[in-house]
Structure 1
Amino acid sequence: MVDEVRAKISAASAKNREFLALLQQTDHAIPSLAQQRRLVADLEAEVKASDQRVAAVDRKRKKEFHEHEKYRDSVLKRFAYKATGKREKFEQRAAKEEQEYFEALQEEHRETEINKDVKLQLQQAKQVAADLERDVSRHNDVQRQLDELYGRVFGGPTPGYPEEDEQERVANAKTQAYQATKGKAEAETQVLKILGEGQLRMKRALGSMEEALMHSRRDMFGGGTFTDMMERNALSQAEREVMSANMLVMQAQRMSPMVRNLPQVTIDQGNLMMDVFFDNVFTDMAFHDKIKASRESVLRAAIAMDGQVAAARQRLHELEGELRMREQDMREAREKLQKVRESVFESVAGSTPPPAYEA
C-alpha cells in the first residue's frame, strides 16, 4: 500500500511542480485585485464628483458669457453710458465682465482637463483590474486542479505518511466547523430579514390602532356611521398586520430555535349590533377604552418584536465574528495540509525519478 502511494506521488510529481509554480506566479493577484477594486471605486466616485464640477463651471461660464456679451454687443447700453458721461464706468464694467468670463473659461478648461485625466486613470485602473481578475481566475483554477490532484493521491488514509493523515483530519474538521458556522450565519441572516419584515408589520399595526383611536374619539362626539366604519376598518387592518407578523415569526422559528413567540395580541373588533341599536356616548366611551387596551396589547407585541430583531442582529454579529475565525482556521489548516503534501512530494521525488504523469 505504501508503495502504491509512492507510485502515485512519483507519477504526479511533475504536475505538482507545474501547479505550484503557477500558483507562485499568481499568488499576488488576490490581494492586488482587492486593492485595485478599491482604487476603481475611489476613481469612480472622483469621476462622478468631477462631472458635477464640470457641469457647474459650464453653467457658470455660460452665465458669465451672457453678462460679457451684454456689454460687448449692446450698442444701446454703450450709448446710454456715453450720453450720461459715464463712458469710463461702462468700459470698466465691460472689462470686468470680460475678465470674469475669461476666468470662468479658464476654470472650465482646468476642470475639463482634470476630468479627462481622472477618466483616463479610471480606464487604466479598470484594465489593471481586468488583468488581475484573469490572474485570480487562473490562480483559482490551478488551485482547484492541485486540490483534485492531491485528492486523488492523498484522499483517505495514506499509509507511510501519518503526518499527512493527521493534517488531513485536522483540515477536514476545520472545514466542517466552518461550514456549520456558515450555515448558522446564513440562517440568522434570513431570520433577521424575516423578523425585520415582521417588525414593519407591527409598526403598521400600531399605526392602524392609533387611527382607530382617532376615529373612536370622533365617534364619542357624534361621528356617526361613517366614523364607525373607519374605526372598524382600522381595527381590522391592525389585526391583519398582527396575524402577518405572527406568521413571519413562525417562519423565522423554522430557521432558528432562538426565535420566541410574540405575546398574545387581542384586538377587540366591537359589536355591530351595539353600534346600530345602542349607539350612544357611553357605549362609545366603553369601546374607546377597549381600543386603548387593544393598542397596549399590540404595543407589547411590537416591543417584543423589536427585541427579537435586536437579538437576531446580535446573534448574527457574533456568528459573523465566529465565521471569520473559523474561516481563518480552515484556511490555515488547508495551507498547512498543502505544505505537508508538498513535503511528501519532495521527499518521494528526491528519491525516485518521476515518470510521466497521466491525468
Structure 2
Amino acid sequence: MMETRSENPHVLSEHTLQLILSNAQFHSDLQETLRDLQVVPSQLEEHKRYMVDLERSLKNVKKSVAQCAETTKREREEHRDLNDSTMRRLAYKMVKKEVNWEMKKETENRKYIEALEKEMIERQNQQVLETSIDEAKRLESELREKKERIGLIQGEIEDLYEKVFNGARREFPRDQQLRQQLADAKSTHDSIQARLKSNSTALPLLSQASGKIQDSWRRTAHDEYHGLFTNGRGERQKKLNKAAKRASEFEQLLRKARLACSEIGSVPQLPIRDMYKTGKYFDAPLSAAFKGVDTDVDLARYRKEITHVKNLVQSEIHYTTERIRIAETDLAEASEVLTSCKTELQEFRRATFESIVANPNASSVMDETHESQAIPLSTIDETRNRSHDSLPLYTATRPLSETEILPPYNSLMDR
C-alpha cells in the first residue's frame, strides 16, 4: 500500500499560506464531490453489461414474436376456413359424422386461441424489455455525465494544486521529487507508445511489400521463360517487365515502412533498370549475341538478388512483430507506473493541503528576505503589536492586502 507523506513541519511564504487558506472550502467541496462520485466508473461498466443482456433478450423476444405471429396467422386462417366452410360441414353430416365435425371445430378454435394468447404474451414481454432499455439508456446517459464530471473535478483540483505547489517549489521539496518522478514516468510511457505506434504502422506496409517481392521473385523463375507457352512475341519481355514493376512497387512500400519506423533495416537495391533492359533482348537473339547479353545468366542473377531481399524482408517482418509484442507488454507496465506516479503526487498534495488547513498554526511563515529564518505563525500577531524598533528581522514579500487570493468557489454539487 502506497504511503502518503506530507511536508512537516511546513515552512511557508505568507503568499502560499494565504493561497491555501483562502481556497480551503473550494478544495473541500471538490474532494467531497469526488468521493461521492468515485463509484460511478464501476457502476457504468456494470450498467453496460446489463444493457448488453437487455439487447440480447430483446432480440430473442422479437424473434419469438415473429414466430408466434406466423403461427397465429396460420391458425386464424384455418379457424376462419373451418367456420365458413358450409360444404365441409354438410359433407360430415352426410356421412353421419357431425360429432366429429364439432370436435374438429372446437380443436381448431382452441389452437387459434392458444396461439393468439402466446403471441400477446410475447408482445407484452417485448414491450417490457423496450421500456427497460429506454430507462437503461437514460440511466447510462446520467452515469456518463457523472463520469465526465469526475474528469472536470479532477482537472479543477489539479489546477488548484498547480497554483499552490508550482509556485512554492522550495517550500515543498518532496513535491518536486514526485513531479520529477512523474515526468520521467510520462517520458518513458510516451517513448514506448511512440515505438509501438511506429512499428504498428510499418508492419502492414512490410506485409504488402513482402507480397510484391514474392510476386517479382515468382516471375523471374527460369521455367517462366522456357516453358511451353513462351513462344509468343514479346511475352517474355512482358513477364520480366512485370517482375521489374513489382520490384519497384516493393521498394516504394519499403520506403514508406522505413519512414514510419526507423528501426526497420535497409535492403540492397534491386536491379530494376537492368531487368527492363534484359527484357528487350528476348526476341532479339542476334542483338543479344552482338552485345554479349546472356538472358539466362541475367535471369539467374536477378532471381538471386530478389531472393536475398525477399528473405531480408521476411526477417524484418519477424523483428517488427516481435518489437510490437514487447512494446505492448512494456506499455502496459509503463501505464501502471504512470498511474501510480500520478496518484502518489495527487495524494501527497491532498494530504499536505489538508494538513495545513487543519492546523495552520503548526506552520511557520518564511522570512523571504532572510530565508534561513522561520517565524511561527502564532507569534506574528503578537510581534506586529509591538513597537517598530522591537520587531525581529522579518519582512513579508508583499503586504497581506496585496497577496493573491483566488475567488471563492461554489461547489459543483450546487451547480
Which residue of 2 is the match for residue 135 of structure 1?
Answer: 146
- Offset of residue 141 of structure 1: 0.7
Matched residue, 1:284: none
Opposite residue 23 of structure 2, the aligned amino acid is: A
- 1:34 paired to 2:29: no
Amino acid of the structure 2 residue aligned with 1:41: V
Do residues 165 (structure 1) and 176 (structure 2) align?
yes
**Could you tell me which of 244, 248, 251 is aligned with 2:253?**
248
Matched, 1:151 2:165: no
The counterpart of 1:55, out of the listed 66, 69, 84, is 66
CA apart distance, 1:170: 1.5
Contact conserved, 2:203 with 2:320, CA < 8 A, in 1? yes
Could you report, residue by residue, the CA deviation over 1:37-83 in whole angstroms, capped at 9, with x for unpaired residues? 23323323333333333223323332333344333433344445555
CA contact (8 A) 1:178 1:323 kept: yes
Correspondence 1:187-206 to 2 at 5 A:
187-195=198-206, 197-198=208-209, 205=215
Is this contact kept in 1: 2:19–2:404, CA < 8 A?
no
Q: Is 2:75–2:112's contact at 8 Å kept on the other side of the alignment? A: yes
Amino acid at match of 1:358: L
Describe the shift of the 1:169–1:276 C-alpha distance in structure 2 as closer, same or farther (beyond 3 A). closer
Equivalent position SS for 1:123? helix
Letter paired with 1:252: A
- Equivalent residue, structure 2, for 1:281: none
- Among candidates 335, 342, 346, match of residue 334 of structure 1: 342
1:198 & 1:169 partners in 2: Cα distance? 43
> Helix, strand or coil: the match of 1:254?
helix
How far 1:277 moved relative to its partner?
A: 9.6
How far the C-alpha of 1:85 sits from its partner, in A, is: 5.9
Contact 1:192 1:309 in 2 (8 A): yes
Within a 5 Å distance, the mapping from 1:5-16 to structure 2 comes to: 5-16=16-27
Alpha-carbon distance change, 300 to 71 in structure 1, aligned in 2, over 3 angstroms: farther
The higher radius of gyration belongs to 2
Task: Quote the offset at 1:84 in angstroms.
Answer: 5.5
1:77-116 alignment runs, 5 A limit: 77-83=88-94, 94-116=105-127
Equivalent pairs counted in the alignment come to 344
Contact persistence 2:241–2:279 (CA under 8 A): no
Counterparts of 1:300 and 1:83, CA distance in 2: 95
Whether 1:345 and 2:350 are equivalent positions in the alignment is no
Instruction: Provide the C-alpha distance between the structure 2 equivalents of 1:104 and 1:292, rounded to a whole number of angstroms.
Output: 78
Please say if residues 249 and 259 of structure 1, whose CA atoms lie closer than 8 Å, have aligned partners that are also in contact: no
Contiguous gaps of at least 5 residues in structure 2: 1-10, 287-294, 362-402, 408-415
What is aligned with 1:282?
none
Structure 2: distance between partners of 1:201 and 1:97:
70
Aligned partner of residue 160 in structure 1, secondary structure: coil
Secondary structure of 1:219's aligned partner: coil
* 2:23 partner SS: helix
Q: CA deviation at 1:310?
A: 5.4
One-letter amino acid of the structure 1 residue matched with residue 254 of structure 2 = V
In structure 1, what residue type is equivalent to 2:344?
Answer: K
**Counterpart in 1 of 2:406?**
358
Of Structure 1 and Structure 2, the greater helix share is in: 1
Q: TM-score, normalised by structure 2?
A: 0.65
Residue 183 in structure 1 maps to residue 194 in structure 2:
yes
Report the residue type matching 2:41 in the other structure. I
Q: Deviations over 1:157-189 (max 9, x none)?
A: 622322222222212222222222222222233
Alpha-carbon RMSD across the aligned residues, in angstroms, is 4.4
Alignment-derived partner of residue 384 in structure 2 = none
Report the CA distance between 1:111 and its aligned residue: 2.2
Q: Per-residue CA shift, 1:183-237, capped at 9, x if unaligned?
A: 222223322344455466678x48x969xx99997736x8x67xx76x8777766
Give the distance between the partners of 1:237 and 1:35, measured in 2 at CA: 57
Asked if 1:219 is matched to 2:224, the reply is: no
**Amino acid aligned to 2:40:** A
Matches of 2:196 and 2:338 in 1, distance apart?
A: 16
